[in-house]
Chain A
Amino acid sequence: MRRIKSNQVMYLGNGNDAAAQAVLHIGYDGEGYYPITPSSEVGEIISKAVADGKSDISFVVGTSELAAIGICTGMAVAGGRVLDVTSAQGLLLKAEEMPAISGMGLPMVLNLSCREISAPLNIKNGHSDLAAALGYGWLIFMAPNVQAVYDMNIIAIKVAEAVGLPAIVAYDGFHTSHANRRILIFENAADVAAFVGEKPAMRNVLDTKNPTTFGPYMNDDVINTKVNMEQKMAKAYEIIPQIFADFEAATDRKYDFVEVYGDKNADSGMLALNSAAEAAKIVVDEMIAGGTPVKLIEPIVLRPWPAKEMVEAVGSMKRLVVAERVSQYGAGNYLENEVAAALQKAGNCKCEIISRVYGIGGLNFRPDEDAKPMFDLAVNWPNVAPELKTLEGRYWGAWPGKADYNPAPSIAPLTIEETTLNKDIEKVDIKAVRELSKMPSRIDKQSACPGCGIFANLNLFMRGIDGQVVLMFNTGCGMVVTTGYPLTSFKVPYVHNLFHNTSSTATGIVEMYHRFRKQGKIPDEEITFICVSGDGGDDIGMDQLIGAALRNDPIIYLEYDNKGYMNTGGQLCYTGILGQRNSNSHVGPGQTGKQTQSKDIIEIMRGTNIPYIFTAAESNPNDMITKARKAQATVRNNGFAFGKLFSACPLNWGSAPEKGNEVIDKIVKSCIHPLYEIEKGITTLNYDPSKTNAKIPVTDALTAMGSMFAHISNPKNIAIAEAIQTEVDRRFDRIKALSENPSL
């Protein structure tokens, strides 16, 4: 039985839980947050602690990854101890802040739950985000397993604050972030706080007695800041061994710059990072037991780069497979180059480096199927199968595909004839809708949750759109459930270009459509371009959406508003309702859900003066189809049309799937989502429930929506309910006034 230090207790959780536990134990001043799979949970757990009154951290949700890290920068420059969490594209969107933070010398910790960055989109593990960060001037600590995620968080902040640089703690997305394990943590947070120590005093922007200018403009002098960063890295290299030793003394858990596992005198071996290295240890033990000496090199600190320790780890090896979950296309790979350079500088040119790229996009790295063959490769090199020496053979686990695979078409392209049904319809009434039942759906089967509102809305809307359509989606549920490779739900051309870019991408597409149509390069046929985004996409993509609207590009832009980041687990979106429960804004003694009223995107868009803006809902289907027809008329007149469709999310709302239409009807009748339109600046209220005594209190709608909202109707939350009612009434009265007075 293992001996356990008396200050440590058992904890069951995954990598994200472990990061959050460490953060709560360390005691941070603030966190800027934005959700992205697979790191989102870390902030969710911390925000739950805030709502439960167990943490007083300033937890602030940004409108984008860039906003989140900007919030962190602000907190840090004010002297706060801060953290952020992210993955993949999230890191790249922060990219401009990363060297700014290290350049300003602001210590903080970024938990990086590593994920592949690519098109086509992949949400699973890869180290391309980590590789992008190698030169940002941040300290980089690897956490190969759940235990190490907890431990490295404690170590990283201590090193970061000691040298005045920010630090990344990198652990594998899903393989570690979602791997539930039995680990040890400190029983008392105070012991962790004592280990980390107080944040050293530094110049800060709140010190009015010593006014300091942060982030000046600099010309030739900037090179001197780089010297400082280099010196800080050198200092980190000096102090890390002592901090590791202190941590071992406190916990019995030992870390080094580079861990060497197996037979230290072996001729052959492998270098790998994180979860793959852990799996490889199983094979090292078994191969040694079987009489084949091998060793594994597992770097724990990547920045500062421990060149000396790496050279010692390689020692007298003759063949080393450097396995990386990332590729630097057309060049030697990241660690391959760094290891080779370290050896060459040390005068060791005897070890052959064999590069492998593995596990990208979350491919599993199993002991028998993956680690063992890779060690065999090192043992047997160069006497291995010729295909293992090719460019393709370097990509472990990639496959060529079947040469004779040639499936027959299963659908025919939609024609203008079969999709032109609105032309002869004067008014959208029941007879017209029956006729429009003949409109082919532009989207076939998808894997959305039963009762999801997205496709009910889109299909209903597109009954009013004639002719050829090109669809462009932001990342979100609508995108994820339609294009699981190698199949697509889209019967019409479709583009997805990440979370927040669809409006700009559409501008580019429409420009080329007009250019090529004029040049005669494409048929002289009408195509209607429709962008589709969730409400989250219009938080992070608000600036680009406004840009496309200001250009008045002929695009129909639809927002399906389901009040949250439902694709990543129901996090807070600024469209959300005051008091709404989100996975990152909980309800508890310390906080009651979302702290702000819902974002009014229609009124934001009003300021762009586009020719057509509308709201619609499935509860009023004829109104929605009518608005679709108006939207198409708008783009035919070279104008931008924006519409918001309230969309039920049974999964995250906690409502019954079959109740979707009834719930949406209540939302409309409560005036939370009033049905109105703005045509060339003239506002028209399309449906006034108060005229027929159909208007209901907001609490009736919120109760029907499900557990994400129902608590607002609880008498103890009456102040929140009244605040919502007041705001909903104010907005509705304003729309009514605008509707009655065209000049407003």
Chain B
Amino acid sequence: MAEYQLPYQDKRGFTNCLLSAIGGDGANMAAKLLFKLAAKYLNLDGAYDAKYGSEKKGTPTDVSLKLCNYGNPVRESGPNNRPHILCIFRENLIRPLGLNHGLEENATVIVNTCKTPAEIRDILQLHSGTIYCLDAAAISITSGSRLNMPMMAMLSHVLKFPEDHVIHAIEDTWPRAKEPNILAYKQAVSSAVSETFAADGKYQLEDPLDIKSPLGYTNMLDGGAIDALTHSTIKKSNAGARSNPAPKFDREICIDCTKCLAVCADPGAIVWKDAKMAGIDLNYCKACLRCVAVCPTTKKGKALTEGDLACEE
């Protein structure tokens, strides 16, 4: 076997990958598997650092994976803020998280999407590099695997990890689910569409995002208290937490039984007006589908039903 070469090296000899996902996507497990593979099969060193803090399902999270040759000391801890390889589990994270920030030139970007690389380039505002698009959500369903498997597969592919090593690692890690996972790997690698974009001046390289909020030690309330009237979560959107489409509502069928109102896990998502059910507020709804589950079936059917599984909402 030819000596393995890291696809990128920063000034300290590291290839830096950032996996951007939401809690529950399995990004951490994907990074863990790749790190194990790199160390055990390719005798590389490196690190993976999960995002610090409390991780709820549906909230944005990231995992940093960095690889170097064995013998190069691994001394820095914390997330990569200048990745060479960006692996995006949910395309709707691109804009809210400003994922182009800190991305190196001639980067490699993997995106779970139905869009084309050219469309993703414009959403991401990529300076330069190669974008791989794959419908990882569909692959995970057809293969009976999970979302992290096709994403991990593409990441291992762009890292140029030998396929037989990856397959061995999958078999080793999930002996009881190896078939669907290997199928997902193969479908991902064979179905991904890529395009390379030169540094054509269309988009600039952006520095990593500044963590500093407008509130600092001169103007925060004493003790870090929050003024609820000016700093309410009301303007936030919960849309990014949805891993299903939001439910559909048919006013014609609804009998205002109040069941949906009682079970809604994100109060505000079920909108009632004048003591009648009026619909779903998509800014609140995380698509847990509790309301769909309790909505009674009348002669006309159910007023609340699962949303359409389209490539985008």
Contact = CB atoms under 8 A, between A and B. Distances in A.
B99 interface: no
7 contacts: A124-B52, A145-B75, A437-B272, A445-B284, A448-B265, A486-B220, A658-B290
A483 interface: yes
B49 A180 contact: yes
Contacts of B229: 409-413
A621 interface: yes
B301 interface: no
A281 interface: yes
A435 B35 contact: no
B196 to A, nearest CB: 29
B263 A660 contact: yes
In which size bucket is the chain B interface? 35 or more
A318 B36 CA distance: 45
A2 B77 contact: no
Interface in B212-265: 212-220, 223-224, 226, 228-236, 238, 241-243, 256-259, 261-265
A443 B267 contact: yes
B287 A12 contact: no
Interface stretch (A101-109, A235-243, A395-403, A579-587): A395-403
B79 interface: yes
Interface stretch (B55-63, B87-95, B134-142): B55-63
A489 B264 CA distance: 16
Contact of A438 (B223, B234, B275, B293): B275
B77 A175 contact: yes
B228 A447 contact: no
Interface string A515-534: 00000000000000000000
Interface in B50-80: 50, 52-54, 56-59, 70-71, 73-79
Given A275-B77, A282-B12, 4 more contacts: A410-B229, A445-B234, A456-B265, A662-B294
A481 B266 CA distance: 12
- Which of B71, B77, B286, B294 gathers most chain A CB within 10 Å? B77
Interface in A333-364: 362, 364
B264 A456 contact: yes
Interface stretch (B39-47, B109-117, B174-182): B39-47
A390 B220 CA distance: 20
Given A180-B49, A278-B76, A445-B284, A400 B217 contact: yes
Contacts of B272: 434, 437-438
Contact of A456 (B54, B71, B283, B290): B290
Question: Considering residues A119, A180, A412, A618, which has the most beta carbons from chain B within 10 angstroms of its beta carbon?
Answer: A180
B220 A401 contact: yes
Interface string A408-451: 11111100000000000000001001110110010111111111
Contact of A410 (B235, B264, B266): B235
A455 B241 CA distance: 16
A446 B276 CA distance: 24
Interface in A190-210: none
B45 A433 contact: no
A477 interface: yes
B47 A445 contact: no
Contact of A405 (B59, B71, B219, B257): B219
A79 to B, nearest CB: 39
B307 interface: no
Nearest to A407: B230
A650 B216 CA distance: 37
A58 interface: no
B57 A651 contact: yes
Contacts of A282: 12, 75-76
A511 interface: no
B266 A446 contact: yes
B152 to A, nearest CB: 15
Contact of A658 (B24, B71, B266, B289): B289
Given A487-B231, A487-B233, A279 B265 contact: no
Contacts of A88: none
Contacts of B216: 398-402
A180 B264 contact: no
B53 A124 contact: yes
B56 A651 contact: yes
Contact of B231 (A430, A488, A662): A488
Given A567-B54, A657-B290, A658-B289, A120 B224 contact: yes
Contacts of B294: 661-662
Contacts, number: 250
Nearest to B278: A437
Contacts of B217: 392, 398-401
A567 B54 CA distance: 7
A123 B54 contact: yes
A657 B243 CA distance: 11
Contact of A483 (B71, B219, B226, B258): B226
Contact of B288 (A405, A411, A446, A450): A450
A441 B262 contact: no
B32 interface: yes
Contacts of B132: none
B125 to A, nearest CB: 23
A495 to B, nearest CB: 10
A124 B77 CA distance: 13
Counting chain A CB atoms within 10 Å of each CB, the highest count among B46, B53, B275, B289 belongs to: B53
Contacts of B70: 1-2, 182
Contact of B52 (A119, A178, A487, A618): A178
A452 B265 contact: yes
Contacts of B26: none
Contact of A37 (B46, B48, B54, B220): B54
B55 to A, nearest CB: 9
B234 A434 contact: no
B286 A450 contact: yes
B279 interface: no
A437 B223 contact: no
Contacts of B58: 447, 449-450
B296 interface: no
Contact of A181 (B47, B214, B233): B47
Contact of B223 (A119, A182, A434, A659): A119
A490 B225 CA distance: 12
Contacts of A450: 57-58, 241-243, 265-266, 286-288
Contact of A448 (B56, B276, B292): B56
B75 A281 contact: yes
B236 A487 contact: yes
A453 interface: yes
A120 B225 CA distance: 8
Contacts of A490: 228
A402 B220 CA distance: 10
A480 interface: yes
Contacts of A567: 54
A450 to B, nearest CB: 4
A259 B58 CA distance: 43
A179 B226 contact: no
Contacts of B79: 364
Given A456-B263, A488-B226, A618-B262, A403 B218 contact: yes
A392 B218 CA distance: 10
A145 B76 CA distance: 10
Contact of A486 (B39, B73, B213, B290): B213
B77 A449 contact: no
B231 A407 contact: yes
A455 B267 contact: yes
B46 A451 contact: no
A269 interface: no
B266 A455 contact: yes
A451 B238 CA distance: 13
Given A445-B266, A455-B267, A486 B74 contact: no
